[in-house]
Amino acid sequence: MKIENQISASAIQAIKELYGQEIPEKMVQLQKTRSNFEGNLTLVVFPFLKISKKKPEDTAQEIGEYLQKNCKAVEKFNVVKGFLNLTIARAAWVELLNDINADKKFGEKRVTDDSPLVMIEYSSPNTNKPLHLGHVRNNLLGWSLAQIMEANGNKVVKTNIVNDRGIHICKSMLAWLKWGNGITPEKAGKKGDHLIGDFYVAFDKHFKEECAELTKQYVAEGMTEDAAKEKAEQEAPLIKEAHEMLVKWEHNDPEVRALWSKMNSWVYAGFDETYKAMGVGFDKIYYESNTYLVGKKKVEEGLAKNLFFRKEDGSVWADLTQEGLDQKLLLRKDGTSVYMTQDIGTAEMRFSDFPIDKMIYVVGNEQNYHFQVLSILLDRLGFKWGKDLVHFSYGMVELPNGKMKSREGTVVDADDLIAQMISDAYKTSEDKVNKLEGITEDEKKEIARIVGMGALKYFILKVDARKNMLFNPEESIDFNGNTGPFIQYTYARIRSVLRKAEAEGIKLPDVLTDNAPLNEKEIQLIQKMNEFGAAVEQAGIDYSPSGIANYCYELTKDFNQFYHDYSILKADTDDEKITRLVLAKNVAKIIKNGMSLLGIEVPERM
């Protein structure tokens, strides 16, 4: 039984025997003892004062005496006002270390047949451009959240909705027809998503040129600058052609649909490469071209049940004024759908595919209102998880030189960023890696990949997801401080120590004896390892990968302080050596498991 559970059970029994009253477990508040007081765990006594009818100090004293006598985990205690500071017996710490050692996934809950099913949507790319830095944050958050929810005992389905239809797609298609000369990714020597993105940028360039000419013409005819610009954007031949192409697509024009399928296949192949490099994936991918019709049908059903209403121009709306919001458009007057309609259709398809208990959407905070409305509409339409859907709302990623604009081709491309991070990691770690015996060039490159991606992922995930963040590649690759490489290097260092021990013929026992030697620093490390389960649970409650990142950093810092103060392989006695090796092995295990929840690999050598 865990130390906290032993003390909690004994405290409940103490209240019953001392004061004659049963109390619920939640009344027992245990916390880590503050560093300026003696002890390991502190029991908060204030909740018991109405029962004991005594002063805080007297109540704490009586409970402390009971625990010292009846709970083998408690060695001694001291009272500070209404706080009972408990010093845990060394044998209890050894027992805890043995429990940690015996469990490969210590701190994580098991998934069973009865576990609830959580679906997590992330990525949601458009097929008119490659993935960029904003998508990187989205994908890393979504993947990590999936690992965290699974570590909390949930079945998880990772899903993606691809925005593969609409005017923006037609812009790229039209530009390819006009200026592409039959170019393909193979002929261009480019990834398909990059090639299509180039044509999206080309469309915007030519469109702006047309608008500029038309604006001049309209101003010359006597219109104001603003009115001329607005009219030009509507009347430019390119935008009219793009709209005509969209109408043809909606009516299943065979030529338009064939071009659409071909260009999308190029993009999907490009996306798959980027996802693989990022180390993310999906269990099920949905496409807006399939879901929007289902959404239209669902809205029509809601209309028939008087859940929505139709205006005189034929458009369909939801009245949300009772919920303190406004009216929301669901179908335009020409019958075409909006994003909300697509999301309703996607929900319908997902709900028929999976027995979803909770739905989490990983989408930027600019869509907060959208998901507030979607939750109400899904609940109104009868989805059991509609009211409780979670919008995992995250902030934008910015660079030292400002925001990104995809139409102007000024985005930080995900592929370029990944390649740069790996290249920087190779250069930064070259001196360290070159010192490793017998390392091949391929192994150097693999270490650089692990370190570069670890640096990128950790830098993004350590920040509270709700906040906007500034991404600085140079800071992220540092081997000191709160960075991925610092944690990875500590793991590799521990693995090196364990390999040396193995080479010396040292075999580690499965179970340490009760009298295994432990000093205060070692006890602190065991206590920190024991907090991993609470960190995982809290990260699941808060939907917070940053909580796991911060825990990994704190554990790594504590181990490095211990390693600085005490030798492992040159310990004074064999018992100390064995105990410290078991301790180090389990710190490495928890670092590896914790970083895995962030989607980060750790190298065996570095």
CATH no., domain 3-88: 3.30.1360.70
- 462 vs 484: CA distance, rounded Å: 9
Q: Is 364 exposed, middle or buried (0-12, 13-18, 19+ CB in 10 A)?
A: middle
> Which 3 state secondary structure label does DSSP give 582?
helix
Q: How far apart are CA 164 and CA 288, in angstroms?
A: 6
| Start and end residues for every CATH 1.10.730.10 domain found in the chain | 414-597
Higher pLDDT, 408 or 164: 164
- Mean pLDDT check: name the lowest of 274-288, 301-315, 411-425: 411-425
**pLDDT at residue 438, as a whole number:** 80
Range 414-597 has CATH code 1.10.730.10: yes
Mean pLDDT, residues 421-437: 82
Q: Determine contact, residues 260/173, Cβ cutoff 8 Å.
A: yes
pLDDT digits (tens, 9 = 90+) for 539-551: 999 999 999 999 9
Q: Give the residue from 344, 364, 292, 358 showing the smallest Cα distance to 123.
A: 364
Does pLDDT of 263 surpass 80? yes
Torsion of CA 370, 363, 125, 538, to 10 degrees: -150
* Total residues belonging to the chain: 606
Element (H, E) at 271: helix 254-278
Looking at residue 544, what DSSP letter applies? -
Q: Which two tokens stand for residue 280?
A: 């993310």
- The secondary structure of 399-428 as a DSSP string is BTTB---TTTT-S-BHHHHHHHHHHHHHHH
What mean pLDDT is predicted for residues 355-383? 96
pLDDT band at residue 564 under the 50/70/90 scheme: very high
Q: Judge whether residue 404 has pLDDT over 70.
A: no
Structure confidence at residue 410 as a pLDDT band (50, 70, 90): low
Rounded alpha-carbon distances, angstroms, from residue 322 to 318, 325, 381, 391: 11, 7, 16, 22
Helix axes 192-220, 167-179, angle to 10 degrees: 90
Distance in angstroms (rounded) separating the CA atoms of residues 281 and 191:
19
The mean pLDDT value for 261-283 works out to 97
CATH 3.30.1360.70 intervals, the chain: 3-88
DSSP structural state of residue 72: T
pLDDT digits (tens, 9 = 90+) for 461-490: 999 999 999 888 778 888 889 999 999 999
pLDDT digits (tens, 9 = 90+) for 333-363: 888 888 899 999 999 999 999 999 999 999 9
Report the Cα 203 to chain-centroid distance in Å: 34
pLDDT value, residue 470? 87
pLDDT score for 434: 66
Q: Which helix (H) or strand (E) holds 287?
A: strand 284-287
Collapsing DSSP to helix, strand or coil, 43 comes out as strand
CB 282 within 8 A of CB 159: yes
pLDDT at 601: 98
As beta bridge partners, residue 86 has: 41, 77
Report the DSSP pairing between strands 83-88 and 327-331.
unpaired
Mean residue pLDDT of the chain comes to 94
pLDDT score, position 401: 64
Provide the pLDDT for residue 345.
Answer: 96
pLDDT at residue 411 is higher than 80: no
Q: Is the pLDDT of residue 433 over 80?
A: no
pLDDT at 1: 64
- Using a pLDDT cut of 70, give the percent of the chain over it: 98
Residue 439 pLDDT level (bands cut at 50, 70, 90): confident
User: For 289-309, how does the pLDDT look when each residue is reduced to its tens digit (9 = 90+)?
Assistant: 999 999 999 999 999 999 999
* Phi/psi at 320 (5° precision): -110, 20
Q: What is the mean pLDDT of residues 315-326?
A: 95
Cβ atoms of residues 358 and 118 within 8 Å: yes
Q: Given pLDDT bands bounded at 50, 70 and 90, which one contains residue 437?
A: confident
